[in-house]
Structure 1
């Protein structure tokens, strides 16, 4: 996580990762505003480019060709990326309400969440039809349909509802791709049946007559049956019903009709049009609230109404970025004037396209090549990211601040005396912690519920106390997720020893800044941590928060354990099987992330695993007779295995091909991207008996990769191993694996042999 060069003075929050917002991110990346922080809230890490979706369906592009890596772009722009879904806006407190995290405060807000086909007006459509948007859900169904084709026997009938340009492109692309699939499977492509429905009697009614005629000719020549002027009134299982009384048996129904807006916008108090879209002025500020902007499909620009088309969202990106910048600096926003005519390039699935602009219309394979060149050049702007040079001079942002904010900002920039451990102010801390509710336990006699100089804990009869401590700086810009991972990591040692977590004392380091920003940062981070501690039954009993250059968090954790049932590192026995409960690779992935060398979905996968608790795994391992256990963290797999073999007096055979890896870890290791801790861990290579033989194996470096909130490494009796493996998978550890076995100690000094 990068620390800002000066305190955050203004928060611009972007809801959604649409075409306009990717333009905003790139614009701010090229020209950042000191003191202004961007935060992106988006459910999907990879945002699709609608212009290339038909080519993806037709099989001309792969997934990464048509998706912008939003997490990576945000990192490039110095923006925070919160992977979540916005569900509302509290305008009185200036907060975005999210599905899975605390509210996110904003000073300025922009909404670019696109639209979705309206299914609710047609009975059964919600249940039986597949909307093309959101594209993530459509893609899952499309991939399932491709797989189903391999086993389908007999005719396959597919209907698309919506005969605008989007519907026509989609049905032609699907037909082209499925015909290729059928041919590859030695099936007769004539078994494919395609139907296109629309209430309008005209194909692509928003385009000129020449374009309509060309597209209708293509559709009919390709054998697609048109059902125009007869609206669909009901969708049932494998059947479509129209107003004219006809019904048609279909295997799949795709919905590409007139788009609608999400219902939560109705609760915001913002002015909406008759379809629920946000009404904005030509500055892209909402008519209701100057602090809130909207762009793309979700916006209805009252002075310049246009149809819902990706070209307008793309064109709104630069003026939206400029006006967000101007308002953040206290300047007057400028009006945006969209073009009156625009170029649409409509593909027909078979590397042929038709161009439409105003009264013009023409087509050909060269038009598709032209479109392909335009689309790839557009995507390269967001996926082929250059290294950014340091700005020599930063603009002054003080003009954007009121007097109180300016005074706080100057204070935050001044040299801090560091008195009393550079503690964060008590009012800031107390307000942040007042919104957090740690779990209560009967054996916590004095804690946050009754604050004093120190916590007082009771130790039940027959129990021993387990103590551990961990601390590390933030490696991601999402304080809530970082708090969850920090707590999870700190609990790992407790669970690895077979103990239950009793209490935790926090130590936090927070960059200096104005009070409101520091308060929210502390709250977000501690809310994430306490959510994890509470789920483990661990009470937060106190802590210390000080100012520092970087955000950091750690915990001293107490646990309780039966002295006769402690899981130790020195309990490995010959004949044990080694089980690892989580995949490896966090070190290399988070070394690659700030270098823009890791895909967003790889980081998503790593963060998800880092938030998986080891509590259930430890319980399961004990149930199946584990004799030794540790959690895999900073020393890497090899370092922690050596810590187990030496005191146990055994050797181990480690199976490199069986090691579970996080998605992307193999690629980043292949590129030579290693954690800064890796060189220190590599010194333990002398513990490998056949190191010279295996050093060139592509998986060899993962042995030294330091892990954050890693899994448990345990020795389990061989006759229990398979059952234990199955039980761990049932409890949510999907990548758990048997990675080796324990042997009698040999004559050689090196205890580990790689196989």
Structure 2
């Protein structure tokens, strides 16, 4: 996580990762405004570029070629990326409401979420049709359809509902791809039947007659049956019905029409048009609320209705970014003036395309090559990043206006900070933040946050012994709620690894100084995430300390309880020769987050790593104990080898690791092969002296991951060999899908080095 050089004064929140917002992110990356923080909230890290989607469907491009990596772009732009689903807006409190996380406050809000299929208007469509919109979700539906067609024996009839440019282009792209798939399987491509349904008399109604004529001929030549004046009014399994009452058989139905605004927009109180899209002025501000902007398909321009075309969303990016900057600076806004005519390049499935602009028309393979060049150039803007000068000074005029109270807070935030108790976060800010955090209550917590005092007072139940541990580290992501969850999960790991049950947690946090409202929200988001994890583990948050620091950081001192007879305790020193070594979660967090900081990790790799880091080890421990585990530890900063060395030395045994068996997080193999390692890795590599056959294993691709430091990593346990298979199956049944045997425990040898690697 980047440390802010200036205090955060204003928050712009972007809902959605559409074509307008990716333009906004790039423009703010090129010209940053000190004191302004951007946050983008989106459900999908890989956001598709609609202009290349037909080429992807046709098989001309792979997935990454047509998707913008939103997390990576946000990292480049210095923007917080929150992966979540927005479900509403509290305009009175200026908060965005999300599915999983606490509300996210904003000073200015922008919405760019595309359109949503209005399938409820047609009976059965929601259950039986495959909607193209929202485009970001179409890939999983397309892959499922592709699989069904491959597996279907005999003739397959595909109906496409909607004969605009999108429907026609998608029909031809699907036909081209699917015929090729069947031919590759040795089947007859003519098993496919395509039907295209238009509610009106024509196709491509917004294009000129020459363009319509070309596509009518192409559809006819390729055997696509065009149905005019056929508005679909009912969909059922295996067929659809049009308004005239005629029925048509269809194995697959793809829906490319009747899109409208997202349902949650209706609850915002914003002015919407008849289709549920946000009505905006020419400044792209909502008619209802000047602090809320909208762009792309979800916006309806009051002065001039626009076609729902990607070209408008792309071109709105620049004026939207400028007006977001201007409203924060309290400057007059500019009017967005859309072009009257625009160039459309529409492909015919194969590498051939048609150019359409007003009454102009052209076609040919050269048009497809031109489109391909334009599209790839566009995508490079969001995937190839020039180094940014983080120390570049802004123009003096770009100072965010503040009221008197805010000016006092801002001056205090950038002034020389006091040390000692003067570095504590203010009591009012802290009390407001913690008032919204609700730790669980436990009978054995006599004094805690519900009745705060100088210290917490706990009762140790009769027959129990106390287990105590502490962990603390700086934030490595820009999402304080998610960071809080991972920090708590990481701290609980030591308690679980010993077979203990968490009782209480005391927090220690540092928060960058800034306006009180921003500090309060950071503390609240972080502690809300942490408290949710602690509560799930049955662990009461009983107190803590919060101070100012240049970087966000969080840690916990955790108390746990265990049977005082120590009968159920799991230690590092119990390994026995012949035991199998089981690892419950994959490796690679160190290299992946080092790569993210260098903009060399794919966003979906980071998403998967964050999911793994949030998975608690709590359920794994009883499973290991039930299968006779003799020793256990959780993997943290010392890496797999460091923790295994501790276990072998204290147990008086040797061990063998199968390098090929190591489970890796997605992307870890790629980043480690590129030589990207954590800053702690060099210190961990010194433990290579514990390897008996290090020279022979040095060039194995998984070798460097022995030293990769883990955050909230899995459990490493030794289990009797005869029970290992059942133990792994049980762990996988509990959700530890990558649990695996990575080696075995050996009798101690006379060699100094306790670890042997098998390649």
TM value normalised by structure 2: 0.99
Asked if 1 retains the 8 angstrom alpha-carbon contact of 2:161 and 2:253, the reply is yes
Spell out, residue by residue over 1:579-631, the C-alpha distance to the aligned partner (whole angstroms, 9 max, x if none). Answer: 10000000000000011000000000000000000000112111111110000
Alignment of 1:186-205 (within 5 A): 186-205=186-205
Aligned equivalent of 1:651 = 654
Shift of 1:117: 2.4
* Alignment partner of 1:634 out of 634, 637, 649: 637
| Aligned-pair CA distance for 1:399 | 4.7
Provide the residue aligned with 1:581 in structure 2: 584
Measured against aligned partners, the alpha-carbon deviations of 1:142-192 in whole angstroms (never above 9, x if no partner) come to 212323344321011111110000000111000000111111111000101
Quote the offset at 1:398 in angstroms: 4.0
Distance 2:235 2:104 in 1: 39
Report if the CA contact (8 A) 2:17-2:70 is conserved.
yes
Q: Is 1:735–2:735 an aligned residue pair?
A: no
| Matched residue, 1:462 | 463
Q: Is it true that 1:259 corresponds to 2:231 in the alignment?
A: no
Q: 1:399 to 1:43 in 2, by over 3 A?
A: closer
How far apart are the structure 1 equivalents of 2:533 and 2:6?
A: 31
Determine whether 1:52 maps to 2:52. Answer: yes
SS at match of 2:51: helix
Summarize the alignment of residues 353-432 of structure 1 with structure 2, pairs less than 5 Å apart. Answer: 353-396=353-396, 397-420=398-421, 422-432=423-433
CA contact (8 A) 2:475 2:554 kept: yes
Q: How far 1:749 moved relative to its partner?
A: 1.1
Greater CA drift, 395-404 or 483-492: 395-404
Give the aligned partner of residue 31 of structure 1: 31
Contact kept? 1:34, 1:395, Cα under 8 Å: no
Counterpart secondary structure, 1:201: coil
Distance 1:200 1:688 in 2: 74
Which residue number corresponds to residue 159 of structure 2? 159
Could you tell me how far apart the structure 1 residues matched to 2:363 and 2:118 are?
A: 31
C-alpha distance in 2, partners of 1:364/1:35?
A: 51
RMSD: 0.9
Map of 1:2 onto structure 2: 2
Post-superposition Cα deviations, 1:180-223, rounded to whole Å, max 9, x if no partner, equal: 11111110001011111121121111111111001111111110
Counterpart position of 1:448: 449
Counterpart of 2:221 in structure 1 is: 221
What SS does the aligned partner of 1:564 have?
coil
CA distance in 2, matches of 1:621, 1:126: 45
Residue 568 of structure 1: which of 560, 565, 571 is its match? 571
Which consecutive unaligned segments of at least 5 residues does structure 2 have? none
| Structure 1: distance between partners of 2:727 and 2:238 | 43
**Cα pair 2:583 2:716 within 8 Å, conserved:** yes
Q: Residue in 2 aligned with 1:134? A: 134
Separation (CA, whole Å) in 1 of partners of 2:622 and 2:732: 13
Counterparts of 1:576 and 1:421, CA distance in 2: 54
Q: Give the C-alpha shift of residue 351 in structure 1.
A: 0.6
Deviation at 1:429, TM superposition (A): 0.3
1:475 corresponds in structure 2 to 476
Q: Is the Cα–Cα contact under 8 Å of residues 575 and 648 in structure 2 kept in the other structure?
A: yes
Quote the residue 1:714 is aligned against: 717
Return the alpha-carbon distance in structure 1 between the equivalents of residues 491 and 135 of structure 2.
Answer: 38
- Equivalent residue number for residue 501 of structure 2: 500
CA distance in 1: counterparts of 2:147 and 2:667, whole angstroms: 24
The question of whether the paired residues in 2 share the 8 Å contact of 1:678 and 1:706 is answered with yes
Q: Deviations over 1:617-660 (max 9, x none)?
A: 11211111111000001000000000101111111110111110
Q: Which residue of 1 aligns with 2:666?
A: 663
> Matches of 1:384 and 1:291 in 2, distance apart?
32
**Distance in 2 of aligned mates of 1:198 and 1:328:** 46
Q: What is the distance in 1 between the residues matched to 2:220 and 2:399? A: 63
1:481 Cα offset (Å): 0.1
Give the C-alpha shift of residue 421 in structure 1: 5.9
Q: Is this contact kept in 1: 2:35–2:400, CA < 8 A?
A: no
* Structure 1 Cα separation of the partners of residues 373 and 394 of structure 2: 36
Does 1:148 find its partner at 2:148?
yes
The offset of 1:401, in angstroms, is 1.5
Supply the distance in 2 between the matched residues of 1:400 and 1:111 (Cα, whole angstroms): 24
Tell me how far apart the structure 2 counterparts of residues 301 and 403 of structure 1 sit (CA, whole Å): 37
The separation in 1 between residues aligned to 2:249 and 2:73, in whole angstroms, is 44
| Cα distance, 1:254 vs structure 2 | 0.6
Task: Decide whether the 8 Å contact of 1:304 with 1:337 is kept in 2.
Answer: no
SS at match of 1:24: helix
- The residue that corresponds to 1:608 in the other structure is 611
Match of 1:559 in 2: 560
Of the structure 1 ranges 144-153 and 711-720, higher mean CA displacement relative to structure 2 is found in 144-153
2:729 aligned partner: 726
Tell me the distance in 1 between the aligned counterparts of 2:572 and 2:184: 54
Partner of 1:323, secondary structure, is helix
Specify the alignment match of 1:347 in structure 2.
Answer: 347
Superposition map of 1:11-30 within 5 A: 11-30=11-30
**Which aligned runs of 4 or more in structure 1 are off by greater than 3 angstroms?**
395-399
- The within-5 A match list for 1:478-489 is 478-489=479-490
Q: Distance in 2 between matches of 1:681 and 1:631?
A: 16
| 3-state secondary structure, aligned to 2:87 | strand
Equivalent runs, 1:659-698 vs 2, <5 Å: 659-698=662-701
Residue deviations 1:268-311, cap 9 Å, x none? 11111111110111111111111110000000111122110000
| CA–CA separation in structure 1 for the residues paired with 2:238 and 2:690 | 62
1:391, distance to aligned residue in structure 2 (A): 4.4
Residue 708 (structure 2) pairs with residue 705 (structure 1): yes
**SS of the counterpart of 2:121?**
coil
Shift in Å, 1:390: 3.3
Cα 1:399–1:642 change in 2 (3 A) is closer
Instruction: Return the alpha-carbon distance in structure 2 between the equivalents of residues 692 and 549 of structure 1.
Output: 43
The CA distance in 2 between the partners of 1:629 and 1:131, in whole Å, is 49
Are the aligned partners of 1:96 and 1:104 in contact in 2 as well (CA < 8 Å)?
A: yes
